[in-house]
């Protein structure tokens, strides 16, 4: 089984080119199903979740061509609305094919999605949105299905600003014959990017990025060419690595406006951050300052995906920091692993109390989810001696060459197999 051998104690220096966003590419690739023609999507990261999405598209009858980070999707001959379990179960984003196939075919049946184990991760808000748009929805043990009945389009109110449910509702509403209003929406940049792509295909959408999105019904879509936005969580992960290890790292081909909250927090820890329109440089201080309380929340609050790497970085801050995770009910799988390195962490429900500035030592670590994997790499790089990290499939789901990129910045990480 493959694992990483990580030797701590090195500072990081150099440049990283920001990849296209995982959580931007996945909904946009699913949205290609709505277009009876060939869409060309640029800046698609070469990660496992994108490969799985392309497999699903092929399985539906699409013709896929990939050249570097550009993918063409010919969805002219879609012949089924069914997404099988062996593919759907590999990631959370497979649920987005429910809304996309409903829009294109008027019916869809998706095996229940997989993805990071961050708690129950129900799909009730997705199904409630589809019902609000006039779909008949059926839930079974292993699958969720929907089909068009009566008038479609309508009003949806989200009790929580779910990212995926908002994306699913947008996808379904674009294919409806009548207008729709979605209220209580999530405001993540990836939702805005999805709506920009759909608008490039001829959809009429206003309000993306706000809590209320209006979608004109009955619009015929045409093929478009589109470039996915940069991956803000990849950028934040590298910045947390630089903050934790010390040194100076520049992110290129990025958009700093996508992660202002996370940058403000890194500045509060004493990091010096300078920005241009498409790059950002972080210079770490000799000693990080702790942060009394960090609370995650829906965008534009501190992203839940930034919580694990930020926690790893703050292990180097001299003093007590606290976290409150409000988005997922169990997103602290990395806490027990960080304690193996000697970290002083106390987890009480949704809160974690961290006393930083304590020397860490190497340990054998197991990643349980995508951002936890990144956090464990960062923490091991700040520990004395060698650590090993298992569960690398989590990393490859969401990061392009994470260990290799860190090595290019000066980290001592080796991929091994036993
Ligand atoms: C998206 O997941 C992202 N994944 C996650 O990123 C991210 O952490 C999350 O949004 C929050 O920002 C993708 O975009 C592929 P939610 P999603 O629906 O859509 C509850 C990563 O690391 N909820 O906003 O699944 C849910 O249980 C991944 O890249 C319901 O109760 O997140 C959670 O507590 C991890 N019912 C909260 O809402 C529903 O029907 C937020 O979930 C849906 C969600």
Q: Is the CB of 359 under 6 A from ligand 1?
A: no
Q: Measured in angstroms, how far is the CA atom of residue 291 from the centroid of ligand 1?
A: 25
| Spatial separation of the C-alpha atoms in residues 160 and 181, rounded to whole Å | 16
Residue 365 · residue 388 · CB < 8 Å: yes
Q: What is the pLDDT of residues 16-72, one digit of tens each?
A: 999 999 999 999 999 999 999 999 999 999 999 999 999 999 999 999 999 999 999
CB 356 within 8 A of CB 318: yes
**Token pair for residue 183?**
């209220």
Q: Residue 85: what pLDDT?
A: 85
Active site residue 201: no
Each residue's pLDDT expressed in tens, for the chain with a length of 418 residues? 999 999 999 999 999 999 999 999 999 999 999 999 999 999 999 999 999 999 999 999 999 999 999 999 999 999 999 998 889 888 999 999 999 999 999 999 998 888 888 888 889 999 999 999 999 999 998 899 999 987 789 999 999 999 999 999 999 999 999 999 999 999 999 999 999 999 999 999 999 999 999 999 999 999 999 999 999 999 999 999 999 999 999 999 999 999 999 999 999 999 999 999 999 999 999 999 999 999 999 999 999 999 999 999 999 999 999 999 999 999 999 999 999 999 999 999 999 999 999 999 999 999 999 999 999 999 999 999 999 999 999 999 999 999 999 999 999 999 999 8
For residue 124, which atom of ligand 1 is closest to its CA? Answer: 40
Beta carbons within 8 Å of 157's beta carbon, 6+ residues apart: 132, 183, 184
Q: How far is the CA of 117 from the centre of ligand 1 (A)?
A: 11
For the Cβ of 51 lying below 6 angstroms from any atom of ligand 1, the answer is no
Residue 404 and residue 16: Cα distance in Å, rounded?
Answer: 11
DSSP 84: -
Residue 389 CA to ligand 1 centre (angstroms): 26
Q: If you compute the radius of gyration of the chain from its CA atoms, what whole number of angstroms results?
A: 21
Q: Residue 112: what pLDDT?
A: 86
User: How far is the C-alpha of 411 from the C-alpha of 247, rounded, in Å?
Assistant: 11
Tens of pLDDT along 102-137? 999 999 999 888 888 888 888 999 999 999 999 999
Q: Measure the CA–CA gap between 159 and 164, rounded to whole angstroms.
A: 13
- Pocket of ligand 1 contains residue 126 by CB under 6 Å: yes
CA of 398 to the centre of ligand 1 (A): 15
Contacts 24+ apart (CB under 8 A), 364-368: 364/340, 364/388, 364/390, 365/337, 365/340, 365/341, 365/389, 365/390, 366/337, 366/390, 366/391, 367/334, 367/337, 367/391, 367/392, 367/394, 367/395, 368/117, 368/333, 368/334, 368/394
Report the atom number in ligand 1 closest to the C-alpha of 127.
40
Q: Give the ligand 1 atom nearest the CA of 121.
A: 27
> CA–CA separation, 393 vs 395, rounded Å?
5
Phi (first) and psi of residue 248, to 5 degrees: -140, 125
Of 297, 300, 262, 301, the residue nearest 282 (C-alpha):
262
* 104, 134, 298 from 156: Cα distances, Å: 20, 10, 19
Atom 17 of ligand 1, nearest CA residue: 164
| Choice among 32, 39, 44, 116 that is catalytic | 116
- Is the peptide bond preceding residue 300 cis, with omega within 30 degrees of 0? yes
Q: Which of 386, 338, 334 is nearest to 362 (CA)?
A: 386
Nearest to 174 by CA among 208, 144, 145, 125: 208
């Amino acid at each position: 089984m493959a694992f990483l051998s990580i030797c701590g104690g090195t500072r990081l220096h150099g440049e990283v080119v920001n990849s296209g966003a995982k959580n931007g590419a996945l909904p946009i690739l699913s949205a290609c199903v709505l277009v009876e023609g060939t869409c060309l999507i640029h800046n698609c990261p070469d990660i496992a979740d994108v490969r799985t999405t392309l497999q699903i598209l092929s399985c539906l009858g699409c013709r896929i061509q990939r050249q570097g980070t550009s993918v063409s999707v010919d969805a002219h001959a879609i012949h089924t609305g069914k997404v099988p379990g062996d593919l759907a179960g590999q990631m959370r984003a497979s649920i987005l094919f429910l809304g996309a196939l409903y829009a294109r075919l008027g019916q869809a049946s998706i095996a229940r999605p997989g993805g990071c184990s961050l708690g129950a991760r129900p799909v009730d808000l997705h199904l409630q949105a589809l019902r609000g748009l006039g779909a008949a929805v059926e839930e079974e043990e292993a699958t969720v299905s929907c089909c068009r009945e009566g008038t479609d389009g309508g009003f949806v109110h989200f009790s929580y600003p779910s990212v995926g449910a908002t994306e699913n509702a947008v996808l379904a509403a674009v294919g409806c014959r009548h207008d729709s209003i979605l209220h209580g929406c999530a405001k993540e940049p990836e939702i805005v990017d999805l709506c920009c792509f759909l608008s490039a295909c001829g959809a009429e959408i206003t309000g993306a990025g706000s809590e209320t999105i209006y979608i004109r019904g009955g619009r015929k879509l045409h093929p478009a060419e589109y470039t996915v936005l940069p991956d803000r969580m990849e950028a934040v992960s590298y910045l947390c690595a630089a903050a934790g290890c010390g040194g100076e790292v520049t992110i290129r081909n990025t958009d700093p406006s996508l992660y202002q909250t996370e940058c403000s927090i890194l500045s509060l820890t004493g990091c010096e951050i300078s920005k241009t329109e498409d790059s950002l440089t972080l210079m770490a201080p000799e000693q990080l300052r702790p942060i009394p309380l960090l609370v995650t929340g829906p965008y534009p609050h501190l992203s839940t995906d930034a919580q694990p790497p930020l926690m790893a970085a703050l292990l180097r801050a001299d003093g007590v920091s606290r976290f409150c995770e409000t988005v997922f009910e169990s997103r602290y799988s990395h806490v027990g692993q960080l304690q193996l390195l000697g970290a002083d962490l106390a987890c009480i429900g949704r809160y974690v109390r961290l006393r930083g500035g304590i020397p860490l030592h190497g340990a054998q670590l197991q990643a349980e989810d995508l951002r936890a994997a990144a956090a464990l790499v960062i923490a091991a790089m700040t520990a004395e001696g060698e650590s090993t990290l298992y569960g690398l499939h989590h990393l490859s789901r969401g990061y392009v060459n994470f260990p290799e990129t860190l090595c290019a910045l000066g980290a001592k990480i080796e991929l091994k197999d036993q």
